[in-house]
Amino acid sequence: MIFNSIDFGIFFIIVFLLNTFVFNKNLKYRNIFLLVVSYFFYGWWDWRFLILIFFSSMLDFFLGKKIDEEQNPVNRKWLLAVSLGINLGLLGFFKYAGFFVESFTAAFTFFGFPIKSYAINIILPVGISFYTFQTLSYTWDIYKRQLKPNHDVLRFLAFVSFFPQLVAGPIERASHLLPQFDSIKKINYQQLRSGFLLMAVGFFKKIVIADRLARFVDPAFADYDQLAGYSAIIAILFFTLQLYFDFSAYSNIAIGCGRMLGFELSLNFNKPYLSTSFSDFWRRWHISLSSWFKDYVYIPLGGNKSGKFFTIRNFLIVFLLSGLWHGASWNFVLWGLFNGLFLIILDPFINKFNKFTLGKLFAGIIVFSCWALSLVLFRTSNFEQSKIIYSQIFIISSKTIDSYGLSIKELNFTFTILIFYFILEWIELNFSSLSDWLFKRNLLLRWAVYILIILSIIILGSYGSEMNDKQFIYFQF
């Protein structure tokens, strides 16, 4: 079930009403209810993989308890290793088996030992990368004695499978989300209102902006060998924006849904395209993943405490793993490597001049451009395609800009709405929260804004009976 579908609309209204009026009075029933609806939400896609999420959750629930009870450091380490091994093993099998087999075959062939490989077709369970990281952080935190294990299996299962964030994050830490399953928090009007507004903004970003950008990006990248000049630049720019609007829209909707059910999820995006350095960017982009890698990979490796060489090594490991987390292909590994190198090489240079306004603007442009260029690797299916696109950026295109799915009129509209959106983000970054400002206005203005957002989605949205509900990009990870 995806957020921008009628199925989800009906599902969420029913869940919201039942949670609010029936189940939110008794903790046990509320948790059972949320577990059931979350499994229903996940099973809507493919019920067979419920077994996997159930197994993964139960394993970490019991290992978490065992690690906490165990006093022998060696045994504790072994128990943690079992948790890491099985979770990463499942992730590796479902996500990376095909990639590793292909890579080994290619390597052996390269060194003159051609071997026959068998194509492995494994369905990637939706959200496996997200919930695996979530449960891993649970056992790790217990191992580090930073968290006490949860002794109520229902709460734990509900925490792992909580449907708003199950398939595409934010990747919640047990220390933040799990306690919210330990008590009932009364839902108030303000929470509902802000949750609703977040969801509306999320739907606007997804349906009006991201899916419209996709209508240019998809045919443009499919035509990669003809994609050149300004068409290529616009395709790269649009994909960069599509990725942000698509993923941040999902996060908005997830946080909004959670809030309407009485839960606070973590912030996942904080205006990343207004960043003025690469380190700033990674503090704003997919925050729940970046901070996960920081806490569970970068810091355990030594962080920046062991000298320049090890700091650089640690950064590169984090970025290579982050690339691999996004997808099982060398393109993602390269994408991670490039971003690691940007951070290591360019940030010291950028940090020298991003102290004043014009310098900040220049820094912002450099960060955005490097990030956008790296996303060619993210969007194409192999390095050959990326190479072709990179090599054709400065060639004059034989195709007009309206050859790829959007008319000039619609392109103008898209540019206008993007400029308008980023002006709002800039205002919010430099002045105050727009939602807080809105909630203080009079009823007429508030309602006018709400209705305008809803009508904009209906009238200006990029959807239709002949289009399939477009999936969120981050579902594939």
Partner 1 sequence: MKAKSNKINKTASINKISATPVISEKITYPKTIGTFLKNSLIMLFIVGIIVIGLDFNGLFDSSEINYHSKRTWEEFYTFTKDKEIDVLLLGNSHIYTGINPQGLSTSLGVNSFIISAPGTHLGDVYFNFKEALRRCNPKVVVVETYAIKDFDPYVLDGSELSDQIKSFVSRKNFWLKFISTPFLFSPTNYLFAWSSLLRNHSFIFTDPAQIKSNANKINTIVPAPGEEYKLGKFIRFVSGLEPETLKKYDELGSPVNGQDFKYSNYTKHYLEKIESLALKNNIKLVFLTLPMYKKHIDNYELWKIELNSLIDDKKYAWLDLQDKYDEFKFDENSFENTYEANQHMTYAGSIAASYALAAFLRNDLKIPLPQRFLENKWLEIFYGKDSYFENCSVLSNDALGKSLVRNTQYGNLYVKEIVSYNRRENHVLLVKIDKNLIDESFLSSKKLMITANANVNGETNRYNIELFKDPAWNPLEHHLYFHFSTDLEVLEVIDVFLTN
Q: How far is the CB of 267 from partner 1 (least distance, A)?
A: 23
Q: What six digits make up the tokens of 377?
A: 């690797």
Which among 43, 385, 24, 389 is positioned nearest to 187, based on CA atoms?
24
Nearer to partner 1, 161 or 462 (CB): 462
Nearer to partner 1, 402 or 428 (CB): 402
Q: What six digits make up the tokens of 345?
A: 């090489």
Instruction: Please report, as a single letter, which amino acid is at residue 76.
Output: R
207 lines the binding site for partner 1 (CB under 8 A): no
- Is residue 326 flagged as an active site residue? yes
20 lines the binding site for partner 1 (CB under 8 A): yes
Q: What six digits make up the tokens of 431?
A: 């002045």
What's the 3-state SS for 123-160?
A: CCCCCHHHHHHHHHHHHHHHHCCCCCCCCCHHHHHHHH
Q: What six digits make up the tokens of 214?
A: 């996709």
Q: Which stretch binds partner 1 (CB under 8 A): 6-14, 85-93, 233-241, 394-402?
A: 6-14
Nearer to partner 1, 148 or 446 (CB): 446
DSSP letter (8 states) at residue 335:
H
Q: How far is the CB of 414 from partner 1 (least distance, A)?
A: 10
Nearer to partner 1, 29 or 447 (CB): 447
Three-state DSSP state, 434: helix
Nearer to partner 1, 134 or 462 (CB): 462
Q: Give the one residue of 110, 121, 186, 430 binding partner 1; rule: CB under 8 A.
A: 186
Q: How far is the CB of 324 from partner 1 (least distance, A)?
A: 35
Instruction: Please report, as a single letter, which amino acid is at residue 376.
Output: V
Q: Answer for the pair 117, 101: CB distance below 8 angstroms, yes or no.
A: yes
44 lines the binding site for partner 1 (CB under 8 A): no
Q: What six digits make up the tokens of 365?
A: 């442009």
Place of tokens 């205002």: 427
Nearer to partner 1, 21 or 113 (CB): 21
Q: What six digits make up the tokens of 206?
A: 């997804």
Q: Give the one residue of 6, 119, 358, 444 binding partner 1; rule: CB under 8 A.
A: 6
Q: Which stretch binds partner 1 (CB under 8 A): 31-39, 243-251, 434-442, 454-462?
A: 454-462
Nearer to partner 1, 176 or 446 (CB): 446
413 lines the binding site for partner 1 (CB under 8 A): yes
Residue 144's CB is within 10 A of a number of other CB atoms, namely 13
Q: Answer for the pair 231, 399: CB distance below 8 angstroms, yes or no.
A: yes
Q: How far is the CB of 406 from partner 1 (least distance, A)?
A: 8
Give CA–CA dist 373/179, Å, rounded.
41
Nearer to partner 1, 187 or 243 (CB): 187
* Long-range CB contact pairs, 16-22, < 8 A, 24+: 16/260, 16/261, 19/261, 19/262, 20/187
Which residues between 353 and 412 bind partner 1 (CB under 8 A)? 407, 409-410
461 lines the binding site for partner 1 (CB under 8 A): yes
Give the CA angle between residues 66, 67, 71 to the nearest 5°.
100
Q: Give the one residue of 35, 67, 136, 187 binding partner 1; rule: CB under 8 A.
A: 187
Q: Answer for the pair 320, 343: CB distance below 8 angstroms, yes or no.
A: no
DSSP letter (8 states) at residue 380:
S
5 lines the binding site for partner 1 (CB under 8 A): yes
460 lines the binding site for partner 1 (CB under 8 A): yes
Q: Answer for the pair 275, 257: CB distance below 8 angstroms, yes or no.
A: no
Nearer to partner 1, 110 or 466 (CB): 466
Q: Give the one residue of 148, 176, 193, 283 binding partner 1; rule: CB under 8 A.
A: 193
Q: Give the one residue of 51, 100, 458, 476 binding partner 1; rule: CB under 8 A.
A: 458
Q: Give the one residue of 110, 189, 309, 431 binding partner 1; rule: CB under 8 A.
A: 189
Q: How far is the CB of 270 from partner 1 (least distance, A)?
A: 27
Query: Concatenated DSSP letters for 382-432?
Result: SHHHHHHHHHHTTSPPSS-GGGSS--HHHHHHHHHHHHHHHHHHHHHHHS-
Q: Sort 105 into a burial class: Cβ within 10 Å, 0-12 / 13-18 / 19+.
A: middle
Give the x-and-dash track for 420-449 against partner 1 (CB under 8 A): ---------------------------x--
CA 211 from centroid of its chain's CA atoms: 16
Catalytic residues: 326
Contacts with partner 1 by CB under 8 A lie at 5-7, 10, 20-21, 186-189, 192-193, 196, 407, 409-410, 413, 447, 450-451, 454-455, 458-462, 464-466, 468-469
